[in-house]
Structure formats: C-alpha cells, structure tokens
Chains A and B, each alone.
Chain A
Amino acid sequence: MRWKKALFYAAAAVFAVWTVMPIVLIAMAALTPRQELYSWPRQFIPENFSLESFRFFANSHGVLAATFRSIAVALATVLIALLVGAPAGYALARFRFRGKEAFRIGILMTRMFPTSLLAIPLAVIYLKTNIYDTIGGLALMHAALAMPFVVLVTSSLFLKVPYDLEEAAMTLGCSRIGAFVRVSLPLALPSLVAAGIYTFVLSWNEVFASAVLTVHNRTLPAHIISTLNVSPLNFKFAGGFFMIIPALIFIFLVRRYLLSMWGVAINK
C-alpha cells in the first residue's frame, strides 16, 4: 500500500511539474531584463528582476487596444453563451421532450469538426454577412465554441436544484418564471457565475478563430500570434505571461465550483 501511495504522489508531482514548469519559465523570462535574456550562458534563475519587458510589451503598438478588444469579446461571449446556453440547459434538466437525447448528443457533435476545417466556410459567411472583423462576430463564434460546455454544465446545475422547490413556489403563488427567478436561479447562481468565468477564459485564450475571423480588430492572442515572427524575444515572453495571468487568476477563483460544475467530488 505504501509504495502505491508513493507512486501516486510521484505521478502527481510529475504532472504538477509538467504543468507548472512552462509557466514558471515564461514568468522568469518575462521578468528578466533584456540584456540578461540575450546573454550566454544564461542563468536558470536571473540575477536581476525587472518589469522592463512588461513595459515594453504594454507600450507596443496595438497591444492595449487588442487587450480591450479581448475583454470586450470575452464579455460578449459570456453574455451570448449564458443567454442562449443556460435556458437550453434548463430545458434539458427539467423537461421531457421528443429528441432530448439526440439534442444532447447533437450539442456535443458541434465540436466534432476541428475549427481549422470550418475556418474558410466561416470566413466566407462572415464576409457575406458583414460581421467579419467585428467584435460581435467573433463573440458569436466564441459563444458557439463554448455552447456545448455551457449547455451541458448548466443542465447538470439545474438538475441539482430539485424541481420540487419550483413546484412549491408555484403552489405559493409564483408563476413558472417567477419560481425559476426566485428559487432556482439564486441556488444555481454561484455555479452559473463559475460557468460564466470559465467561458470568459475560453474566449480569452482562443487563438485560431480569432486569427481567422479578424484582420484589423484582433484580440490579444491573435495580435500576439500575428506579430510573433517580427517581435523580439522579450516581447514574446512578456506577451505569453500577460496572457496567462488572467486565466490563472480566474480559474483559481472558481476552482471550487469547477469541480462541482463537472460533478466531481474530490473531498469525499
């Protein structure tokens, strides 16, 4: 039993290092002054830390605008995904209807095709409908990418709120919608917020669709990727680290709900 436990912790340690190492390397590189970054041989832990690279990155042309666009796209994505996905999830949780299982599978099948396969047809459609290279258009795409996650997760959230509660509210004078707003929504809200934040991060990190569907109005990842070939090393490191931070913070904030969202109980 003991060696089993040791093996488990060893595996966990390897996995943790595997995940954390690139983040640490990027963080250290991003905080290293420029001269030191280019010197050879380079020390594993830099002698001096400085925010020089960051300042350089943040002041570079287009970065600030791209950051704001990224935030705008992510917020719009969350809004669209929750407004469309949460009711669908609620319906899956509460109602029996013809084709329910097919619907559930169908939602997953939307992710069957890789984005790269869809890129050209999508770009054509976007161009034709005049939403190419717009924040709203990209948010629509991100919302579509996040939809399976939002629908399936919200349906499992609402399943955890017993229908009895809504029925009780209805016998006490609520309408169907009133019962939802006063009872189910408050109970599901923390998890809904977590799902929203997760969706935000999905959009924040998304590169491919952003790069294909925008030209001038690029989000931060798309902007960084398009300038990657022509930018100096410290710009790349600072940019990479800058991208990681919000995702890390958000996921850290909602980590408790992430587990409950996916229906995993680790503390039991």
Chain B
Amino acid sequence: MFKCKRFFMVMLSTLLILSGCVKGKELEGGNDLTIARSTDAEMIDPGHAMAEGDIDVVFHLFDGLVQFKNRDLEVEPALATDWDVSEDGKTWTFQLRKGVKFHDGTDFNADAVVHSFKRILDKDHKFYGLIKGNSYLDYLLGDIIEDVVKMNDYEVKFELKRKFAPFLTYMGYYSQFVVSPAALEKYGEDFINHPVGTGPFKFKRWKKGEYLELTANEDYWGEKPKIDSLVFKVVPESSTRLMELQNGSVDAIKNIDPKQLETIEKNDELKALSVPGANTFFMSINTEKEPFDDVKVRQALNHAVNTKRIVENIYEGDGTRAINFMPPTVFSFDKNAGPYRYDPDQAKALLQEAGYEDGFKVKLNTFEGARTYVSQPVQAAELIASDLKKIGLDVEIETNEWAKHADIMDNGKHELSLTGWFDVPYPSNFLKTLALEGSRTKYHPEDLQEKAKKALATYDEEKQLKLYQELQQGLHEGAPIVPIAHSNYSAAVRSDVKGFVLDNLGVVRAHKASKK
C-alpha cells in the first residue's frame, strides 16, 4: 500500500514537471493556430463522435467520400472522384481517388471504406463493437444501408434497403468519414487515442482536459494546410477564453457568450464570426393533453408569445426568429409557412372561440443551463410566462436540470415545455425526425407522415421541394409548437487570422486558415 502510494507520488510529480516543459516550450510561437474551446474532445473516431468537441477534431483528421461545397449541402468529390446511382435508386457506386495514403502510410482503398462502414453496421464484422458508444452513422444510416461491397481496389458499391434522398448528402457528413483499418487492427479500442485518417492534419498528441495538437499533413491529397500545427485548447470559462484571446495567447475562441459580443466588436484586434445555426429553439405543446388538443388553443399560444422580444433580449440579436421547425438556411425552407403575428387580442379571441375565455392553469417546463440553441432557457421561460399571463392564463414555471427535463418530456408528462434541436441541415432531419418524431408534441397526423416518407423516397429535387413545403404549411396550421429562435454559432479570432470558418453546425474548419 505504502509503496504503491510512493510510486504514485513519483509518477505524479514527474508528470507535473513534464507537462510544465511541454506547455512552456512547444506550444508557443511558430506557425501554429490555437483555438480555445469550452470542452475537450472525448471520442476522436468519426463512427462514434457525438459532441461538438469531437466533431471539430474529426473534420480535420478524416475525410469522407464526398465533401460539402462551402456551407451548402451540395457536395463535391473528396475521397471519391465520381459516383453513380442505379435506375431504382438503391445502388450507389463510388470511384475512389487513387494514390491517397492514411497518416500511418497505408493505402486508402475500397477495403478501408468497407471496414469503416461495416465495423459500425455489420454485427459480424471483426471490428464491430471494438469501440464502445453510440454511433451517429448507425443513427443516420443504420436502417438504410443493406451492404457495402468492394468491387475492385478503387470501386465501392453501397446497397440501400430503399431509395433514400439524403444519402449523398449524409456521405459528406463526419460520421461517414473513412478510418484506417490498419490502425484499428494495431490499436484496437485504443484507436480513439491514436486516430488515423486521410485528413489535412495528423494527430500529434493529446493531453486530456488541456489541449490536443494536430500537425499539418504534408502529403495531403487536396489543398495543403498553410499552418504547421493546429491546437485545440480547453478553457471551460467563457470569460477566461475571451481574456486569452485579448492577450494573444490563443488565436481563436469558440462558444462565445452573446453577452461578450459587444466587447469583441469594440476591440480592433479581434473579429467576431457569427453564422446562422442549423438549430431550432421552441416551445413544445403536448397536443394529447386538454386543452391543447384543440388547434385553436395552440394557435392562440402562437399569437400570444412575443417571439421578437425573446430574440432581442435573450439572444441579444445573435439569432434569428423561428417561424416553423426549419432553420431558414436549410433547403426547401418556406418563408410563408408562418409566423403567427404577435397579437394578444387575436389570441384571446381564439381562446374564446375554443371556449376558454376565462383562461386556465398551465405549467411551463424549462431547464437549467445553456444548450446549443439557447443560452438562457430560464429567462426565456419567464418572458413567455409573462406573455401568456397577458392573455389570461395562470402560468407556473418548473425548472429542472436537463436529464430530468428530458425525462419529463419523454414520458409525456409536460403541458408546455421549452426544448430544441440541432442537426444536419437537411430538411427531413427537421421536418420528419424532429417535427413528427422528436418534438415531444404527440403530433403526428397521417397525411404529414405520408408526405415526409414520400419526400425521402425521391431523388427529384422539385418533388422534394414541393413535399417539404407542404409539410411546413401543414405544421404551421397544426401549430404543435411555438417556434422561437435559431441561435447563431459564434466564434472570435484575432484579426491576423484568415480563412477560419465556422460551419452551420458550429464546427470549426481551420483547414485553410492562415496567420499573417
């Protein structure tokens, strides 16, 4: 016991001394770009990454078969140079790029693609379950992909169970990125500490909870990075992050508190970046509970909430008003599918028509702590409650921490509840997965579900557009939620940093960044 303790002490002090050296010497100067974030990565594996902290890193270490052009969902070649879809829309064939090497020196080829997908989707694959945890790949494509087949070294075929419209789009998303099978073999479950891909940066070292360092990949198949290394530093406190940016010890910060934007904008040395996020913050109405089973009551709620006031004061302008489930940046967004204008008198009239002129007692559930789509959920609830009181409702706010809050909603115990969603900016993710399945409204009329299914089963964009817009109209009329806002994702950089991009999922893209 005593021996063990002493050994531990020695180890600890050695570690402390070493870490001091590393931080003091090697993280400074040079052509490095350091980004301070609120959280560290946990799982640097495309197949299992879930959190923002992971995705930031995955996008720099790995590549997909296709990649998004700029911020659009339109894709362009990446690890695949060309692709083709069969008549029935169920078979996709990809021609792979030749001469690409993984960071460990092994070749990128059809085997690598097959392994990358099958290790998640095929229970009989030798790497299945090697790394534990949920998989976003499984969530997006688990029910869709029937098989992945190697045709020859540089040709891969995906067999789908049915026609699936978002397939190609999803292939550009991080969870479908390709990993090195040789590294999986070599490191096993420790792969997450030795991630190997084909991306513009290579993994160098990771001091958990402190920083993660990547170095430029000299042999990258595409445009080579202009910086030598990219460091993700963990700084949990938002005010500390801002301070570090101000004194130049980091080059960029993420997860800015909207309250800090003013300070950043006043400073000439700093530049704020803000992009409309693919997320929605809304009030879910439990349409199974009386009186919310009456569409007039739901519409009354929509007229009663002063959404503009919330966007101006809670988001401090760093967000846009939501009029429906869909963020306006997503394909097929229909600007005519809403909003209900702010009009308490109209709300009262609707309540009267529904037979509730004396109002009723209602509980509004909200949660503690910031989430991607809202920084102050409690204050938002207070504003909504004061709006609803104006039309004669007796509102009580109940606040819980997120896990309990989600549990209440999942069990349908709520009446009104604040919640939100962020996802791949693809229409069905917001109109089907969210609106008809995940919004906790118990609102799923058959005609709308039918439309959602049809839209997924066609590759014809015109048809998709029409169906998705009809869906939005239907959701607007049925009013199962009160849409509130889409928050912006924000970052700030020192003004000598160029080419630093934040995408509409809030993920950093520093591939083409440079420092003057």
Do A and B come together as binding partners?
A: no
